[in-house]
């Protein structure tokens, strides 16, 4: 009876050990940023954002130039203006300055929003490509190695999927 029990126990330990070895989780890793920066869509969205930023900067410069001209005219004529005209022009200058400040704040907000929307779409494509590669390779999870989030991965235990993801995102 003891021999049978000992034999069963040894078989159970061997089976558990074998099951643990065969069901070990496989993982992949890549630098999302390196793939992202190679994507044509990302490069296009960055170019679009740069162009939009340039347009906002041109408009801000034009408005600032208009303000400076009005301010110079005000300074030249302030000694000869009657009090009510002087107050009117001061009010106009204050309103212009306030509108310029509001425009700069709004343009910065719109730039951030446009950049977020554009990069969100590109990141979704990247995430989908990662999921496709992971599923095809039978990976349980994928680690993003950017910014020191995962300082070490054993290449014998994990799979670098960077090249595969790049092929999908840049056909």
User: For residue 87, what is the domain's CATH number?
Assistant: 3.30.910.20
When divided into structural domains, the chain yields a total of 1
| In a domain? residue 3 | no
pLDDT of 95-127, one tens digit each?
999 999 999 999 999 999 999 999 999 999 999
Residue 6 within a domain: no
**Inside any domain, residue 163:** yes
What pLDDT score does 4 carry?
45
- For residue 61, being part of any structural domain is answered with yes
pLDDT digits (tens, 9 = 90+) for 54-95: 999 999 999 999 999 999 999 998 889 899 999 999 999 999
Query: Rounded to the nearest 5°, which phi and psi values hold at 161?
Result: -105, 10
Q: What percent of the chain has pLDDT over 70?
A: 87
**What was the pLDDT predicted at 7?**
55
Residue pLDDT, tens place only, 8-55: 444 445 545 554 454 578 899 999 999 999 999 999 999 999 999 999
Q: Please report the pLDDT score of residue 2 as a whole number.
A: 58
Q: Whole domain around residue 116: which residue ranges?
A: 25-169
> Domain for residue 7, yes or no?
no
Determine the pLDDT at residue 3: 56
The pLDDT confidence band at residue 147, using thresholds 50, 70 and 90, is confident
CA distances from 121 to 17, 45, 141 (A): 45, 10, 22
Q: What is the pLDDT of residue 19?
A: 46
pTM: 0.70
Output the pLDDT for position 156: 81
> What are the residues whose beta carbons fall under 8 Å from the beta carbon of 29, sequence distance 6 or more?
142, 143, 144, 145, 150, 153, 158, 159, 160, 161
What does the DSSP 8-state code read for residue 146?
Answer: G
User: Is 136 part of a structural domain of the chain?
Assistant: yes
Domain-embedded: residue 4: no
- Classify residue 8: in a domain, yes or no: no
């Amino acid at each position: 009876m003891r021999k049978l029990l000992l034999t069963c126990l040894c078989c159970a330990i061997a089976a558990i050990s074998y099951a643990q070895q065969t069901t070990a989780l496989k993982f992949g890793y890549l630098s999302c940023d390196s793939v992202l920066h190679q994507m044509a869509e990302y490069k296009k969205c960055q170019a679009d954002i740069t162009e939009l930023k340039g347009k906002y900067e041109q408009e801000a410069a034009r408005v600032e130039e208009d303000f400076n001209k009005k301010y110079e005219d005000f300074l030249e004529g302030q000694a000869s203006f009657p009090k009510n005209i002087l107050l009117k022009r001061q009010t106009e200058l204050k309103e212009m300055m306030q509108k310029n400040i509001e425009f700069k704040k709004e343009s910065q907000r719109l730039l951030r929003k446009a950049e977020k929307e554009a990069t969100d779409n590109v990141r979704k494509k990247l995430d989908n490509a990662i999921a496709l590669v992971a599923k095809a390779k039978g990976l349980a999870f994928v680690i993003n190695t950017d910014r020191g989030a995962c300082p070490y991965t054993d290449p014998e235990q994990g799979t670098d999927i960077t090249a595969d993801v790049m092929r999908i995102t840049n056909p």
